[in-house]
Structure 1
Amino acid sequence: MDKTKLREQALFIRTSLFDQGFLDEQFIELEELQDDANPNFVEEIVTLFYSDSVRLIYNIERGLMTNPPNFTKLDDFMHQFKGSCSSIGAKKVKTECSRFSEYCEAENFEG
């Protein structure tokens, strides 16, 4: 596959992620910060996001196993996760984090 085809495919995937609501304008802002001095900037930020996500999801899962659950602590983890999502433009995940926080505030374990 030549470079033109690869660029077209990458643009298609990027557009699809925006059209389906997975990403928001924050991701575009990250892309605009990437330049010749730091050509891997977006990749590095997304890699950090994934590393943080693994840690936060692990902490949330552990928090859900306590009886009774500490909703304040769970909400703190979720707030951190939502902030990470916001920083890279992960719109759908950020929306789900907000929903989870609402359940924590209501102390609704089933939610």
Structure 2
Amino acid sequence: MLGLSVEQHRADMNRLLAILFHQGVLDEQFLQLQHLQDESSPNFVSEVVTIYFHESEKLLRNLRALLVDKELSDYKKMGIHLNQLMGSSSSIGAQRLRNVCIAFRAASELNNRPGCLRALELLEYEYCYLKNKLHEYFQIEQQRMLAAAVRYPAPQQHTDNPQG
């Protein structure tokens, strides 16, 4: 046996998604994103999510930098970064991450530095969890696509071609 079948990979993907939905990590927006993927753009979802992670890492770095200096915490800038992260998280269906952004923004609006630090820690945790789980999902999807592409070679036809 060369590996798992396409159906087994699809079942693994569905199981993982079911867990992420049950945990509230993802919402129906992720399914909407999947509906936009087709044969002309077979990696659409993973490409969108990759861009999301790239941009989110910048926003998380910016948020951390804003909170490092106790004297100069810029809560207005924090709110701008959080709104960007909240919007992009909503667009890919990252529900739990979006919810942490809402709590973080509430703390920033109150200039509550300890609350912002706790929220940032939770935000980074949720971000890593989401990134790891979606990475796992896309690995299974890649394996499924490879399994679907496996073709056994056609038997070679022998022709009588006497040389003489």
Interval containing the TM-score (normalised by the shorter chain): over 0.9
The CA RMSD measured in Å over matched residues stands at: 0.8
SS in 1 for 2:72: coil
1:5-84 aligned at under 5 Å gives the runs 5-66=8-69, 67-84=71-88
Aligned-pair CA distance for 1:68: 2.8
**Partner Cα separation in structure 1 for residue 58 and residue 100 of structure 2:** 17
Give the equivalent residue in structure 2 for 1:2: 5
Residue 103 of structure 2 aligns with which residue? 99
Equivalent position SS for 1:110 = helix
Aligned residue in 1 for 2:125: none
**Deviation, structure 1 residue 15:** 1.0
Could you say which structure has the larger radius of gyration? 2
Conserved in 1, the CA contact under 8 Å of 2:66 and 2:72?
no
SS for the counterpart of 2:113 is coil
* AA partner of residue 92 (structure 1): R
Contact 2:66 2:74 in 1 (8 A): yes
**Deviating runs (4+, > 4 A) in structure 1?**
none
Question: What one-letter code is carried by the residue in structure 1 that aligns with 2:93?
Answer: G
Stretches of structure 2 that go unaligned for 5 or more consecutive residues are 116-164
Q: Partner of 2:93 in structure 1?
A: 89
* Percent of pairs with identical residues: 35
Distance 2:68 2:53 in 1: 23
TM-score w.r.t. structure 2 length? 0.66
